Structures are given as structure tokens and as C-alpha cells.
């Protein structure tokens, strides 16, 4: 950690908040996460075949260790290059970090769900939410679509904003790249399908581990965002529901930000849903909250989300001061 890292992080958070992921750029240039995905695909095709479960698990461990090490090495190389370039290097590093954050893009995708509901009714909402969730949207009614969008917003706030910012603050570009490689691997091979149950085991477990601090921090940031936008009672409810209901979620980490958002908005989240044609029964988070979520709740969730993002930026800015003063 250093004053320069926190300054870079502040600039990156501001740039990502204002610019996001412009389509015109990524239509012409391959996004780094896509390149990470291609590297993971190469290892998947080469190593995830033949042998029993134990042998596939060992190869999955080797694959993720190599991929994470390679991403860290890339981060070291770029870090040294940017150091040599001085002010230009500072700007390039801030732009690089911004690419791996997801404030504006996440909010834009979630807003499209509310827009789809208002413009095209339930089918419009289902189509928009299918772009951001893994569950089957066909069985969802309108409140279900709204809950799914809000849950995705809260969960991805942790994975797509807080965690990359945290690991960059802790370990610079090597830490940021390692986290994004691991998180991408978890999304691609970390699920419990027959093909990936063993090969993706290490990626899933490591992703749970590295997201543990960010998930707890994201709940506090959502409470801060609720305090900015909805008042002290909403912030208090966010913290209380996060503490009491986070374990209702199937994920050891996602329950924290989702429960905090449920408390901040006073709505129920999670509950039964369908994945790959199979019904998954889970308890409702914040069962005493409102049962019917609406497009207005999606709007309110985005407002709280942006408040939480602002709190994260302010914290990063405040952490520069001790390095400058002492």
C-alpha cells in the first residue's frame, strides 16, 4: 500500500463511474477479462478430460495456480513499465484499474431491467434480467424479476467493484490481475455441474476465500450508501439484516451485500429460484420486509449502490492522507 496506489484507485473509481465500459471501445479492442477467459478456456480444454474425480481436481488446482501466477507476473511487468513512464505511467495505470471496475456498467445493466419492465412489461423485464443473472427468467413474475436485478446489483457490487479495488489497494496490479483471473475462472469453471465439479473445485474455493473480506466490506458500504440516500434508519436496517440473514444465502459471501441491500430497501430478497431447470429452495432474506418488489425498488437500489460507490471512493481518498502527512 502507498499514497500512489490510493491516488490511482481514486482516479480509477472516478473514471469508471463517469465512463464505464464504452461499447465503441470494446467493439474494437478485446477486453482484458475476455483474454483471461480465453486463457482459462485453453486450460479447460487441455486438462479437464479423462481420469477420475481426484485426478481432475489435481489438474484443476495446477491450472488455477498457473493462471493466477501468470496474471500476477503480467501485473509486475506492467507495474514496472508504468513506474518508468512517470506521469504518463500514472495515467495508464489508472486507466488499467478502471477497466477492471464495474460501477457504471453494472448500474446501467440493472437499470435496463426497470426500463424493460416499464417499456415492454414482464417480457421486457425478463429479457433484460436474463443478461445479468444465471437463473432461468421464464418462471419469474414481475416482483421476481425485480428481486433478481437487485440481488445481482448487490452481489456484483462486491465482486465487481469492492473486491478488485481492495486487492489493488493491497497488492497493486499483480493483486488486481490475480483477483480478476480467479474471479473469471470461478464464473467459468467454478460451478457444480458434472463437468466442473472436480476440475473447478479449487477455483471456486479460492474465489470464496479472496472475496471474504470484500463481501463484509461491501455490506458496510451499502449501509453507508443507504445512510447518504435514505437516512439513518435504512443504514441501521442494512447492518442488522446483513448480520442476521447473510447465512440464508447459498454463498458464504454473496449473502452479506444482498442482505444489506434487502435491509436498506426494506424488501425481501433471495428465496426459491430455478437454475438449469432445477428448483433451488432457499429462505427469504429479510423475511419481515415487503414481499412485492417493483421497478421503483430497482431505481432505489441503484441510488443506494451509487452511494456505496461514493463511500468507497471517499475512503480511498481519505487513506491517501496518512501517507502524505507521515
For the stretch 78-89, pLDDT in tens is: 999 999 999 999
Beta strands in the chain (DSSP E): 269-270, 273-275, 278-280, 284-285
Neighbours of 18 (CB within 10 A): 10
Given a cut of 80, whether residue 135 has pLDDT beyond it is no
Mean pLDDT (whole number) for 266-273: 84
Best mean pLDDT range from 21-25, 65-69, 142-146, 317-321: 65-69
The pLDDT confidence band at residue 277, using thresholds 50, 70 and 90, is low
**Structural domains in the chain (count):** 1
Specify the pLDDT at position 139. Answer: 85
* Per-residue pLDDT at 205: 96
Query: Is residue 101's pLDDT more than 80?
Result: yes
The set of cell numbers assigned to 172 is 497493486
CA dist., res. 268 & res. 307, Å (int):
21
Residues across the chain: 326
* Residue 271 pLDDT grade (very low, low, confident, very high; cuts 50, 70, 90): confident
SS3 assignment, position 291: coil
In this predicted structure, which of 94-103, 131-140, 154-163, 271-280 has the lowest mean pLDDT?
A: 271-280
Q: Does position 279 have pLDDT exceeding 80, yes or no?
A: no
Q: Would you state the pLDDT for residue 274?
A: 60
Provide, rounded to the nearest whole percent, the portion of the chain with pLDDT above 90: 82
Least confident span in 134-138, 145-149, 313-317: 134-138
pLDDT of residue 2: 81
pLDDT mean over 251-263: 95
Round the average pLDDT of the chain to a whole number and report it: 93
Grid coordinates representing 39 are: 486463457
Helix, strand, coil content of the chain in percent (nearest 5): 75, 5, 20
Nearest to 13 by CA among 320, 313, 302: 313
Provide mean pLDDT across the span 103-124: 95
Residue 321 has pLDDT above 90, yes or no: no
Predicted confidence band of residue 322 (pLDDT cuts 50, 70, 90): confident
For 279, the domain range is 3-325
**CA pair distance 139, 83, nearest whole angstrom:** 52
β-strand pairing of 273-275 with 278-280? antiparallel
**pLDDT one-digit tens code per residue, 157-214:** 999 999 999 999 999 999 999 999 999 999 999 988 889 999 999 999 999 999 999 9
- Evaluate if residue 326 carries a pLDDT over 70: no
Residue 144 burial (CB count, 10 A): 21
Amino acid at each position: 500500500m502507498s499514497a500512489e496506489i490510493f491516488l490511482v484507485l481514486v482516479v480509477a473509481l472516478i473514471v469508471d463511474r463517469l465512463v464505464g465500459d464504452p461499447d465503441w471501445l470494446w467493439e474494437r479492442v478485446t477486453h482484458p477479462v475476455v483474454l483471461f477467459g480465453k486463457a482459462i478456456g485453453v486450460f479447460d480444454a487441455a486438462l479437464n478430460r479423462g481420469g477420475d474425480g481426484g485426478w481432475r481436481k489435481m489438474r484443476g488446482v495446477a491450472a488455477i495456480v498457473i493462471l493466477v501466477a501468470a496474471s500476477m507476473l503480467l501485473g509486475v511487468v506492467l507495474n514496472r513499465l508504468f513506474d518508468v513512464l512517470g506521469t504518463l505511467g500514472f495515467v495508464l495505470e489508472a486507466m488499467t484499474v478502471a477497466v477492471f471496475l464495474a460501477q457504471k456498467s453494472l448500474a446501467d445493466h440493472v437499470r435496463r431491467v426497470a426500463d424493460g419492465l416499464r417499456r415492454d412489461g414482464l417480457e421486457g423485464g425478463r429479457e433484460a434480467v436474463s443478461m445479468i443473472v444465471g437463473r432461468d427468467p421464464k418462471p419469474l413474475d414481475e416482483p421476481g424479476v425485480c428481486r433478481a436485478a437487485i440481488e445481482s446489483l448487490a452481489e456484483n457490487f462486491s465482486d465487481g467493484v469492492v473486491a478488485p479495488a481492495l486487492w489493488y489497494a493491497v497488492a497493486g496490479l499483480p493483486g488486481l490481475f490475480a483477483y480478476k483471473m480467479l474471479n473469471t475462472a470461478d464464473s467459468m469453471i467454478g460451478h457444480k455441474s458434472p463437468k466442473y465439479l472436480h476440475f473447478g473445485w479449487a477455483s471456486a474455493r479460492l474465489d470464496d476465500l479472496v472475496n471474504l473480506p470484500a463481501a463484509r466490506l461491501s455490506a458496510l458500504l451499502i449501509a453507508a450508501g443507504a445512510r447518504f440516500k435514505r437516512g439513518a434508519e435504512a443504514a441501521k436496517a442494512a447492518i442488522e439484516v446483513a448480520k442476521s440473514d447473510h447465512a440464508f444465502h447459498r454463498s458464504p459471501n454473496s449473502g452479506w451485500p444482498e442482505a444489506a441491500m434487502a435491509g436498506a430497501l426494506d424488501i425481501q430478497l433471495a428465496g426459491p429460484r430455478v437454475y438449469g431447470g432445477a428448483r433451488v429452495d432457499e429462505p427469504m432474506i429479510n423475511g419481515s420486509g415487503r414481499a412485492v418488489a417493483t421497478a421503483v425498488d430497482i431505481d432505489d437500489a441503484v441510488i443506494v449502490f451509487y452511494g456505496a460507490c461514493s463511500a468507497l471512493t471517499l475512503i480511498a481518498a481519505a487513506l491517501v492522507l496518512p501517507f502524505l502527512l507521515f
